[in-house]
């Protein structure tokens, strides 16, 4: 006999066990777009305690809609090994241009990251960071994103994290908080440049970096911070940026 | 050298090839929630030409948020074989109560359906049905959901389908169109009843049925049409309903 | 040294303990207006396991604003003993007319109910009821009200309750759910009548009653269900209605 | 026999008497959050003529929602004496970490302040200040907050106050008015810093101060003006800030 | 020397004296459109204690905009004596068609009604009626209209009135309340008919009547209740309807 | 027999005649608040061709609501002669403080201005100015304010005016256009200062002035441009400012 | 030398001449979609005094967006002669299927109707009808549509028309007014049926008819009134419906 | 027999062919207002591969509404040859002032541009530009405007263009993107000046120019960029600006 009380208890106990298990993590990621999902899988595979916060109900960021609502994405050759790693199918359109289904891609990115051991909390917004006297980001300040959307005035909670990765896309939300609130931070969120796919994809390898002690930036947020060109619906650079962000994070731990 | 024009052409050509390949299908599904994703996978595995239309940017319906924004779902024993089939992990909470990660679950449901061969178009809304003189639903009338959200006045396009499955959740959107526009349809969308998980889960096996020639109803839409109780964040019945809807559809082809 | 992680853990653990302690209660109250706060205090004082759900961030319902935003309320003589019981000050305006400060009154109603042992969860909306084969309300279906305000599609959770008290004011929200979803319920929410303070206050003693097995109605919801007149900013009847609802609930346990 | 006319007269006469009695006060407080409610109680207990204006319908500010909608707050040891003074219960979670019920806490803060003799007007917004030739804030300019929310164009009224306390939280509303309109004011509202509970709590003892002749700032407004770190759902500093603001005000009278 | 405190006291004292002087009136009018302003002037001139409630910030109803935003109105010959009485200028356009300035007209209607001794409260909404055992409307239930526009939940106050005149235009707001809440009321608000100026103007002399004990209806509300045709920007009938409503009211006192 | 076509023609012909008669005026006033209505009456009485544009449906600006929605205003002794001139009643509250009814006052200000010969167009917004090579404002650019409120993209029309008076209140709309678009204009709209009735009232006599060739500023717009203090619901200075603006305009013609 | 005053006068004089020339017409059309533009051209070519009112800023109705925002429409063979008549290019896609550019098509439909002598007023909404004792629609009641969109309360004006054609699309706005306000009208607006292009196109020849004395219905409004199927982005029936509506109108004159 | 599937295929295939045919063009125009429609016709007539993107559903920009919603425009003598070229009728109002119907004018501008061979895509927004190492605009980044209006997060696509013409009106959208994102661009969008028809019309001949390699600006966007005066509803300059922009573009190819 199914019992609603037990269903309630099962969900609440599992969640709060998970929550209490993640009040202190090694890497906390803001945003569950393609770059951070790649990063999360890699980190979890390396045994790093990893959690991703996403303010929307769903994960996957801007990948769902393909280009102009046509649900296909393009990936260049050098990044197809990441598609392979996630079990995403793709078709060759022309030399170096591979097309994948955007919905399948998001599905695999999300499920593989979780199965590798990363925790993902959706509907949670990173609204600030924790700081300490060593001028280092030392954690994240969280709230339900519904609190904000509903216009409520409710205090946040905080967790500790050794390293934070900002993969919140064009808005570079965590970087903007640090830029605005910590005057000694020596970077500015410059905003992305006009589109130039070739240069934008390559720039990501340089713009994916630690920009403040404890804060790494990945994906479009990386190009937005460092004024790299935007690329449109080609995602190879995004996936590789996630991989690189994970590598930098592991180094910093 | 990456070239934006080629990226554009790759996406548009792939999409429009797909679009033209799906102007006539065997089964057209409205809504990409859990039930219809299970149905789509099964249909595609059986070699049925299958397409799913989802009006949101993402698929997965109400499963993302778990229960009360705690991202976990419960599945009872009899449905764990579907989780196995999709490669979704789960943990035993207590006899007959299994807990899964809601984000991983949606990811797998979506990616497996696509990999089995079903096409999914997100951001497309089913706004009406096609009829013919044999009083049978013979296709779907489609529009970009953004047209509606943006308050634009733009005509739809239509595709043919031998069978239609309405898996649009509580709103039972296709059923309501048929109820309102075809007086000879002998059903009413009664709305779901108060919560009673045990009865609601079982009811789904009966309420998942062909309610008008060419129109099958699945998932919460099935209970909504037939006044079954609602169940909350237990998803076994939903998954089994999708499976059954696919079986009925295959029979009707 | 204050530590944010510990602050987080203290709040989450206390809440989790409380939540799991209240997945099954003796009396579940919907709405934390004056009537239900009086009922909750009385129930808790009698040792009844009691929880109140309020969808707003604050409790107190329509009492905060006094009459036309002038923050004073009127209470007639027979109800001043309840003010005394809650430690609320009042001043005699004229025979049988006592004036109290609306803000002080809400403050005391809320704090005394909690101190008596009732749990109150704000920001939680009762969105449905649980039913069983004996045609009896057997619990409440809950969701964060922010989910609704933010337009999200997230499943609810449910708790069991032997008795439910609907004190949601003019809207009589739980009663409306029962009226709409359970055809065999033999009442209709008739709506309150034009103002007539004398009759409205007295009517509350009759309209506060069990209107469906397991469902008691209190405060303005009682008059709204039974077409009693409205009363304006006189609150004696509301307070006495809460007291009576508690007495009926205790009888039914 | 209850008579609606008498109810109306009772409320309006009491309000009118109170309003006319408070067109000139010793201390006028903007905002009825935790800090200002503590300040108001202390001032009233010292016999100071005190009025608090709150633009929302309810008082209590951001305390209602605890942390992330879990209705519990944390208070450190040194501030538990204020909880005792207000009759608020609390439980020891761990050394120096005490947990209280957020709803009970607001209820007591509000009712005790009123019972001590402070007047509180809700739904009234401080929209400007009065100035005189001695470059001193000498009163407050008031309007119904509903006027603003309804988009109406209606003139305000003004009252005199020897001292003003701005306890309007993060927005520091009165301070911003002074900053913008009085160029000779030598402060800027700097905004609060990232979270650091330990430092933020201590900073409040310094940031709670007279920042312009006749204008004291309390609670989160104090840290917001002076760029102190934010603290999250720990409230000891807030309560102590209210106490200190009252002491400074008494000194200035 | 001007003193803000005295300005505040002057306004509040005058207003609250007026308010307390009008908690019981002979005639209470809902809506300050042209018909009710004519009625109010006539009633006041006859020494009747009269108050008009208007929910907008301004009075004059639909007369300000003339026809299609061209600020002119037309009045037929038989009603020019009312224009004369109010001191409104007009010009002959053709036999029986006189044109007046819509802005001047509203100005005069309002100022003359007040100068005759009628009180007008703007920004106050009639949200219900008072009833007594003799099945007679015996007063009005009032609230600030800003409360409603701002979405606040605040109780109303009530005043007594021997006779009520509903001049709220097409919506016939008071009539609709009576129709909905008092089943024994034997009228329905039928809504106005298509435009036919000739018939509509004449119909007003019949439709202006007491439709429920204590409730008279005037102006467009009269035609809306009794399904008279609408007339457009010709105002003679409106003015005469106000005059007639006043005569009926005097008779009933 | 009333004929709708004739009603239409009467209104449109009268309006057309008026419109074409005012494509070139001596003084064009933006805003129909108290100051500009006084100015318009005085100008018209002196035989000056005068038109007032008001973007709202009604005229009277912020005077309707008195202070805090209590419909009374205060006027000091020196301005009562203007009340007398307009036929507005007032009552002595105390030496030098006279109270008038805000609704009667607006009614008289509007009707007397029209009867003196000034044209007033409501629902028309001044969206820009005309300039010529002599660096002088030489006219006004007009549009229906409904065009803006409805979010339409429609071109304006323009009229010529020898002198323009900006009486648009706190926003000083015409002055802001000139400030932003004409760099050689040597003033800035500084915004009004905190409230100080005594100083604010007196400042108006200085701040009412020609601030750019052909542009005079009156009423609260005058204090807003020149950083004078605000005054609250005392209107003597406003009325006198209107009178002075008219005098300056006549001088400039 | 260009002079703004002359530009203003040119536009206002031409418009108001036109307006006064059209206060009484032979045929008044509501809605400027494809059907009514065809009707207007034909009527004007026959020398009938014709005016079209369109509430949007642009004309062309739902034709602009083609199908699903792909700006192409389809026309069947029998209607290509109307395309020829309007000078619209088209291409054969397949037997009996001709494709035209949707933007070019609207442009020609509009410009040819005007050049044939029909007047079109955009931004004007038909908000009611005129009636007379012979139970016949005898004119249209008009208002600026911006009045409605801006939420203003402004009276309409009316014009006379011997015959009215409702071509307002799915909403059948004029028909709904007649259905609701004239009980003796013996039709109901049934709403369009599911899509069936073949039947829908043919149905239009029957559903385009006089449904009430003086009221003809055309285009999608015709199918909406008579429950014909909808057709999607095929426009032949629409064009032929406009032609037929004109023929019926001419017959009735 | 009409077949919906064929209608769908006809539209999608034609669109796809057109889309793929325009992934690389000679001139890409942003905005389909009067200036760009003139430019598009001229370019197409010269055999230049031309496409126009318009984010609204309709084309024609601000011309539809004439002046103040009176649907007439004025054109001076020197530009009447362009009216002649497009087949637009006009009437002489006075020497050098010609009046045309605004609806007919838009219709002709649109249809003639398409018939000359220019492609126009409505509902498509230019949201960025393509750049290359030679610091030259080399294409446009496109998205459905409904994506933006619906608040969706969907990636754009891009096309190549040798020359781009920004004719997006007052907002000068493409110019603002270049100004903000390319620091080396040596222009600023200054905004248009107050109205002065004579000077504004003439200025357009100078302000219509290439302001950045590959980017020409036309129509009101040209005056907005270069701080030319605005002109109101006189359109000669706009039409001539379009012609000039086309000439500059041809020169640059």
Across the interface, which of D147, D153, D156 has its CB nearest the CB of F232?
D156
Asked if H121's CB is within 8 angstroms of G114's CB, the reply is no
Contact of E15 with chain F, judged by CB distance below 8 Å, is answered with yes
Across the interface, which of C58, C64, C197 has its CB nearest the CB of D7?
C197
Confidence band (pLDDT; 50, 70, 90) for E133? confident
Contact of H97 with chain F, judged by CB distance below 8 Å, is answered with no
For residue G205, give Cα distances in angstroms to E70, G35, G200, G239, H185: 41, 12, 9, 11, 60
Contact of D132 with chain F, judged by CB distance below 8 Å, is answered with yes
Can you give the pLDDT at residue H178? 97
Can you give the pLDDT at residue C95? 86
Distance of residue D125 Cα from the nearest chain E Cα, in angstroms: 14
Mutate to test the interface with F, among G2, G3, G8, G121 (most CBs of F within 10 A): G8
Q: Extract the residue ranges of chain D whose pLDDT is less than 70.
A: none
The mean per-residue pLDDT over the stretch F132-144 comes to 93
The answer to whether the Cα torsion of D143, D144, D145, D148 is positive or negative is negative
Neighbouring residues of D129: CB distance < 8 A, sequence distance ≥ 6: D137, D138, D139, D140, D141, D164, D174, D177, D178, D215, F194, F195
Asked if B146's CB is within 8 angstroms of H147's CB, the reply is yes
Distance of residue E27 Cα from the nearest chain D Cα, in angstroms: 15
Neighbouring residues of E216: CB distance < 8 A, sequence distance ≥ 6: E163, E164, E165, E166, E208, E209, E210, E245, E248, E249, E252
What tokens appear for H196 in the block? 């002065």
The answer to whether the Cα torsion of F93, E40, E78, E63 is positive or negative is positive
> Within 10 Å of residue F93's Cβ, how many Cβ atoms?
18
What tokens appear for H40 in the block? 């598009």
Which residues in chain A are contacts of H143 at CB distance < 8 A? 68
Distance of residue C192 Cα from the nearest chain E Cα, in angstroms: 8
Across the interface, which of F143, F152, F182 has its CB nearest the CB of H194?
F182
Which residues in chain F are contacts of H169 at CB distance < 8 A? 153
pLDDT digits (tens, 9 = 90+) for B93-114: 998 899 999 999 999 999 999 9
What percent of chain F has a predicted confidence (pLDDT) above 70? 100
SS3 B153: coil
- Per-residue pLDDT at A38 exceeds 80: yes
pLDDT digits (tens, 9 = 90+) for E77-118: 999 999 999 999 999 999 889 999 999 999 999 999 999 999
Confirm whether residue F55 is marked as ligand binding. Answer: yes
Report G:173-232 residues touching E (Cβ under 8 A). Answer: 177-178, 180-182
pLDDT digits (tens, 9 = 90+) for C13-29: 999 999 999 999 999 99
Confidence band (pLDDT; 50, 70, 90) for E62? very high
| C-alpha span between B33 and E151 (Å, rounded) | 35
| C-alpha span between F252 and F240 (Å, rounded) | 19
pTM above 0.95, yes or no: yes
Do the two chains B and F touch, given a threshold of 8 Å on CB pairs and at least 3 pairs? no
DSSP letters spanning G73-137 = EEEEGGGHHHHHHHT---EEEETTEEEEEHHHHHHHHHHHHHHTT-EEEETEEEEEEEE-TTS-E
Confidence band (pLDDT; 50, 70, 90) for F95? confident
Q: Closest chain H residue to B18 measured between Cα atoms? A: H12
Q: Return the biggest CA–CA distance within chain H.
A: 61
Distance of residue G20 Cα from the nearest chain B Cα, in angstroms: 33
Q: Extract the residue ranges of chain B whose pLDDT is less than 70.
A: none
Q: Closest chain F residue to E94 measured between Cα atoms? A: F10
Could you list the beta-strand ranges (E) of chain A.
24-30, 50-54, 72-76, 91-94, 97-101, 119-122, 124-131, 137-144, 157-166, 193-195, 209-212, 215-217, 229-230
Which residues in chain A are contacts of C57 at CB distance < 8 A? 152-154
The mean per-residue pLDDT over the stretch F145-162 comes to 97
| C-alpha span between D89 and A153 (Å, rounded) | 24
What percent of chain E has a predicted confidence (pLDDT) above 90? 95
Neighbouring residues of H194: CB distance < 8 A, sequence distance ≥ 6: F128, F129, F130, F131, F141, F177, F178, F181, F182, H229, H230
Asked if H69's CB is within 8 angstroms of F154's CB, the reply is yes
Q: Are F65 and E144 spatial neighbours (Cβ–Cβ below 8 Å)?
A: no
G partners (3+ CB pairs within 8 A) are B, E, F, H
The mean per-residue pLDDT over the stretch E48-52 comes to 98
Asked if H193's CB is within 8 angstroms of F131's CB, the reply is yes
Mutate to test the interface with C, among A54, A146, A152 (most CBs of C within 10 A): A146
Across the interface, which of H13, H76, H103 has its CB nearest the CB of G2?
H76
Distance of residue G246 Cα from the nearest chain E Cα, in angstroms: 25
The mean per-residue pLDDT over the stretch H46-75 comes to 97
Neighbouring residues of H183: CB distance < 8 A, sequence distance ≥ 6: none
Q: Are F216 and F197 spatial neighbours (Cβ–Cβ below 8 Å)?
A: no
Distance of residue A12 Cα from the nearest chain D Cα, in angstroms: 13
Which residues in chain H are contacts of F158 at CB distance < 8 A? 195, 197, 232
The mean per-residue pLDDT over the stretch H114-140 comes to 95
- Per-residue pLDDT at H70 exceeds 80: yes
Asked if B65's CB is within 8 angstroms of A144's CB, the reply is no
For tokens 């653990």, name the residue. C13
Q: Are C29 and C232 spatial neighbours (Cβ–Cβ below 8 Å)?
A: no
Asked if A57's CB is within 8 angstroms of C123's CB, the reply is no
Q: According to the 3-state scheme, what is the secondary structure of chain E?
A: CCCHHHHHHHHHHHHHHHHHHCCEEEEEEECCCHHHHHHHHHHHHCCCCEEEEECCCCCCHHHCCCECCECEEEEEHHHHHHHHHHCCCCEEEECCEEEEEHHHHHHHHHHHHHHCCCEEEECEEEEEEEEECCCEEEEEEEEEHHHHHCCCCCECEEEEEEEEEECCHHHCHHHHHHHHHCCCCCCCCCCCEEECHHHHHHHHHHHCEEEECCEEECHHHHHHHHCCEECCCECHHHHHHHHHHHHHHHHHC
Q: Extract the residue ranges of chain G whose pLDDT is less than 70.
A: none
Confidence band (pLDDT; 50, 70, 90) for A74? very high
Can you give the pLDDT at residue D121? 98
Mutate to test the interface with H, among B1, B2, B5 (most CBs of H within 10 A): B5
* ipTM topping 0.90: yes
**What count of CB pairs under 8 Å joins C to D?**
188
Across the interface, which of H7, H74, H114 has its CB nearest the CB of G234?
H7
Asked if E62's CB is within 8 angstroms of G154's CB, the reply is yes
Asked if A5's CB is within 8 angstroms of C159's CB, the reply is yes
Asked if H158's CB is within 8 angstroms of B7's CB, the reply is yes
- Per-residue pLDDT at C58 exceeds 90: yes
What percent of chain A has a predicted confidence (pLDDT) above 70? 100
Can you give the pLDDT at residue C135? 84
Asked if E195's CB is within 8 angstroms of G129's CB, the reply is yes
Contact of D233 with chain A, judged by CB distance below 8 Å, is answered with yes
Can you give the pLDDT at residue E184? 87
| C-alpha span between C27 and E186 (Å, rounded) | 44
Can you give the pLDDT at residue H228? 95
Q: In order of start, what are the domains of chain A with their CATH numbers?
A: 25-252 (3.50.50.60)
Can you give the pLDDT at residue D4? 96
Q: Closest chain G residue to F130 measured between Cα atoms? A: G4
Asked if A2's CB is within 8 angstroms of B76's CB, the reply is yes
Confirm whether residue F35 is marked as ligand binding. Answer: yes
Which residues in chain G are contacts of B182 at CB distance < 8 A? 193-194
- Per-residue pLDDT at A1 exceeds 80: no
| C-alpha span between H124 and G44 (Å, rounded) | 35
Which residues in chain H are contacts of F180 at CB distance < 8 A? 191
pLDDT digits (tens, 9 = 90+) for G177-187: 999 999 889 89
Confidence band (pLDDT; 50, 70, 90) for H86? very high
Distance of residue D224 Cα from the nearest chain C Cα, in angstroms: 19
| C-alpha span between C203 and C227 (Å, rounded) | 9
Can you give the pLDDT at residue D227? 94
Q: Return the biggest CA–CA distance within chain B.
A: 61
Could you list the beta-strand ranges (E) of F114-180.
119-122, 124-131, 137-144, 157-166
What tokens appear for G37 in the block? 């533009």
Q: Return the biggest CA–CA distance within chain C.
A: 61
SS3 B90: coil
Which residues in chain A are contacts of B106 at CB distance < 8 A? 58, 107, 110
Q: How confident is the prediction for chain H on average, in pLDDT?
A: 96
């Amino acid at each position: 006999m199914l019992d609603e009380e037990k269903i309630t208890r099962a969900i609440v106990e599992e969640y709060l066990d998970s929550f209490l298990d993640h009040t202190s993590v090694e890497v906390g990621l803001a945003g569950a777009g393609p770059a951070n999902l790649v990063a999360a899988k890699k980190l979890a595979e390396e045994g790093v305690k990893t959690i991703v916060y996403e303010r929307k109900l769903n994960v996957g960021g801007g990948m769902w809609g393909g280009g102009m609502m046509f649900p296909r994405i393009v990936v260049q050759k050098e990044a197809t090994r990441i598609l392979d790693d996630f079990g995403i199918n793709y078709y060759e359109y022309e030399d170096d241009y591979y097309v994948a289904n955007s919905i399948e891609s998001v599905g695999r990115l999300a499920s593989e990251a979780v199965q590798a051991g990363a925790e993902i909390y959706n509907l949670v917004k990173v609204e600030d960071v924790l700081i300490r006297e060593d001028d280092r980001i030392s954690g994240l300040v969280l709230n339900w994103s519904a609190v904000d959307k509903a216009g409520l005035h409710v205090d946040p909670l905080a967790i500790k994290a050794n390293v934070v990765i900002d993969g919140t896309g064009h808005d570079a939300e965590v970087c903007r908080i640090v830029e605005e609130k910590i005057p000694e931070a020596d970077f500015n969120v410059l905003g992305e440049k006009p589109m130039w796919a070739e240069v934008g994809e390559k720039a990501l390898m340089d713009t994916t970096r630690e920009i403040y002690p404890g804060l790494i930036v990945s994906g479009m947020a990386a190009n937005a911070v460092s004024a790299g060109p935007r690329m449109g619906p080609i995602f190879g650079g995004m996936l590789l940026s996630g991989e690189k962000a994970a590598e930098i994070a592991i180094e910093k731990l």
